[in-house]
Amino acid sequence: MTRTLSLAQARRVAIAAQGLDRPRPQAVTMRHLTGTLERLGLLQIDSVNVLARAHLLPLLARLGPYDTALVDRASGRAPRRMVEAWAHEASYLPVETYPLVAGTRRRWAGMDPAVLEERHPGLLALVRDVVAERGPLTGREVEALVDARYTERGEGWGWRWSAAKTALETLFDAGELTAARRNAQFERVYDLTERVLPPHVRDRPLPAPEDAVRELVRISARAHGVGTLRCLADYFRLGQRVTRLAVDELVDAGELLPVTVAGWDRPAWVHAAARVPRRTPARALLAPFDPLVFERRRLLELFGMHYRIGIYTPAHLRTHGYYVLPFLLGEHLVARVDLKHDRDTARLLVRSAFLEQPRAGDAATWPAPAVVVAELAAELATMARWLGAHAVVVDDAAAGDLARPLGAELDRVRLTDADAYH
């Protein structure tokens, strides 16, 4: 018989699968970081740094304040625990996952090796040889080492890349080069993939495509706890047809179980090892690129939040702000705040704060507004300490019905008292 989950149960399954209901460690170690990455499966990378780099924030949500040097060490020094690849967009993956995404890399027009070779004969080999001889190198350093005719901006694809940069990205997508690390300017520092991967991964034969897809769906299912075909495919940007084949195999193996989720009008599956907590003590600010909010339809159906990333929306069309983070409290997304780290003044700025409203059936477990305000202020204080900010300040012109009460709470409880909330 197909199991049935209430919407509340499905929410708690999803939160637990993401590790958001677990107590945060007192002192975060490399073991905590790698364990979290393995649970999530990936960390999406984005260059926007209005608050903090995108891949750092999901770790904060689950681990609390931690030393970001752990991430630099895990991704930039041997033996690497995580490596950059194209997965759910550009992402950090556990090194063991890297061979699985060989078939899911970008295939963008203008980055076809055959087209590039026809347009610039010998360039791919030249760039590969430069990196092999001189690497690790940034894109700018590679451009300085090749013929000037390959470095003119405007002839490349997409982001007005030069031909040399396009060659680098083509080799990156082909798996011949990868990022040895990111530098202080967040530029990729390219090296031969064989010199970046640890030997036990480098020397392993690539899996058959169907085996790779099955393993990626297995990772996706574990990270979701419960999800639909669309959810399971989207996590690693897989096609739905191959995802469905993998789902059927995992069902036959007993790793996925068909489930009916109240209010969902399409099939869903729950991971056989998923926990269904009776309650969840979760409290976290979720970045726009947090894995819990990847799939927007799932977010709406599970939590009732219609969410779009403001950074991709023209200013006059933004409804909640530029870099807006949903606030998870218990099993609900109860608020959303637009945040900025003002590094010049060492302040965490709240540029808007909006209270969410419970849907029918959620009122019994929905926290009171005063509780939301107090817990949000505490979580903002935790984030500020991690950022090195000395104060959390609500802008005078901040929009949203939560802005004024949040400002009053922050005035009442100064950042120096934040440890009482940790």
Please give the full DSSP string across 23-66, using - where no structure is assigned: PPPSS--HHHHHHHHHHH--EE-----SSS-TTTHHHHHHH-S-
Closest C-alpha among 20, 11, 2 to residue 281: 20
CA distance 242 to 239: 6
Residue 88 near residue 234, CB atoms below 8 Å: yes
Lowest-confidence range among 100-114, 326-340, 350-364? 100-114
DSSP 8-state assignment for residue 208 = P
CA distance 387 to 324: 17
Q: Is 162 helix (H, G, I), strand (E, B) or coil?
A: coil
DSSP 8-state assignment for residue 96 = G
Q: What is the pTM of this model?
A: 0.93
Q: What is the pLDDT of residue 107?
A: 63
Question: CA 259, 306, 324: angle at the middle one, nearest 5?
Answer: 120
Lowest-confidence range among 93-107, 133-147, 343-357? 93-107
CA distances (Å), origin 67, targets 56, 58, 64, 73, 186: 10, 14, 10, 11, 17
Give tens-digit pLDDT for 40-97. Answer: 999 999 989 999 999 999 999 999 999 999 999 999 999 999 999 999 999 999 999 9
Longest dimension (CA), the chain: 68
Residue 418 — very low, low, confident or very high, per pLDDT cuts 50/70/90? very low
Tokens linked to 92 = 């950090």
Averaged pLDDT, 162-185:
92
CA distance 261 to 353: 31
Q: Is 210 helix (H, G, I), strand (E, B) or coil?
A: helix
Residue 55 near residue 41, CB atoms below 8 Å: no
Give tens-digit pLDDT for 120-169. Answer: 999 999 999 999 999 899 999 999 999 877 777 654 444 678 889 989 99
